[in-house]
Amino acid sequence: MDDAALLAAAGEEAYLVGGAIRDELLGRPVFDVDVACREPEAAARAYADAQGGAVVPLSERHGAWRVAYRDGRTVDFTPLQGGIADDLATRDFTVNAIARRLGSADHVDPLGGVPDLESRTLRAVSDEVFRADPLRLLRAVRLEDELGLGIDSETEALVRRDASLAGAPAGERILGELQRLTAAGFRRAGELGVLAELGGSADRLDQVDPADHPDYLLVVCLGEAVRGLPISNDTRRFASTLLSGAPPADASPRSIHRFRRVTEPWALELLAYLRAGEYADAVREARDRDPAEPLLRGDDLGLEPGPEIGRLLELVEEERAAGTISTPEEALALVREELKRQS
């Protein structure tokens, strides 16, 4: 973090605030920087001119500006209205309400965020933080999960009190928090009543096996409710595969081929979701045997373009997977036999 560059852009009455200070004190890498200053737009443009990056308005309502980089790093410049103590009082948790004046090593900590970091405690700044921004309900769970903190009893009571508001924020913001939760985080969200308000349940974690896909826990804990979030098309297809999938009929090469045809590239994730891990080795072995080239292509069949070509090629691939054919000649003979049978 280059204080000199930030100071040159934002001026002397500017402070590093929020998560950047928290992570700095925890010894964590700092990727996203938040600077409170008097002229956010001018500061953002000056910083981008000196350091590169794209300048974008972050919030027209609040007058915040962002300098964004291709590697995902961001530097946000937010308006400092009143004194820094007034700014910190509007934040969510004490560990995020610590500031450091640019060019200084001293912390401004009117709410006790530094001692809370030392005791690994997540404490709300006020009784109204969740009503002011209900996304903080999920953020409390995520910060506890991600940073290894513990929500203090009074803050936990506030989360339970305001859990009914969990569905109020925009779907993009909700999704962003959920996608960062571990299984323990989802369990905590369920325990606090937050997950139920989103149509989810952590109980489903006990009904599935673990899997590595980044959206696996999201689908497991949200179920059909995941379709109501602004997920990507790829995640939507992944969710549909899990929510509507069925295990293979048996472990035979033919059954595994048919199963993979409708579930790949998520066949193993579906098996975990269905607790059907006894078929996992058969799927892995089938993947290892996948041929580099098909036995036949559409042009080899001498037929008019249409869905029949796709059906015949799939028939060839299934029989190849089952071991009944292995050469282009055998594949062509199979196709001729099938066409004759249908005529």
Find tokens 């090593």 and name the residue: 105
pLDDT at 1: 58
End-to-end Cα separation, the chain, in angstroms: 74
pLDDT at 32: 87
Contact 113, 27 (CB under 8 A): no
Largest CA distance in the chain: 87
Q: Which domains can be identified in the chain, with CATH numbers?
A: 1-118 (3.30.460.10), 120-211 (1.10.110.30), 245-289 (no CATH), 298-342 (no CATH)
Model pTM score: 0.88
Q: How is residue 111 annotated by DSSP?
A: T
pLDDT at 175: 98
What is each CA distance from 43 to 17, 33, 34, 54, 117, in whole angstroms? 15, 13, 12, 13, 30
* Dihedral sign computed on CA atoms, order 115, 119, 123, 126: negative
d(CA 103, CA 86): 21
- In the chain, helix, strand, coil percent, each to 5? 55, 10, 35
Contact 188, 144 (CB under 8 A): yes
Question: Residue 69: what are its φ and ψ, rounded to 5°?
Answer: -120, 155
Walking along the chain (343 residues) 10 residues at a time, the average pLDDT comes out as 80 88 90 91 93 87 88 91 91 96 91 96 97 97 96 98 97 97 98 97 96 97 97 98 97 97 97 98 97 91 88 94 94 91 81
pLDDT at 228: 96
pLDDT at 60: 66
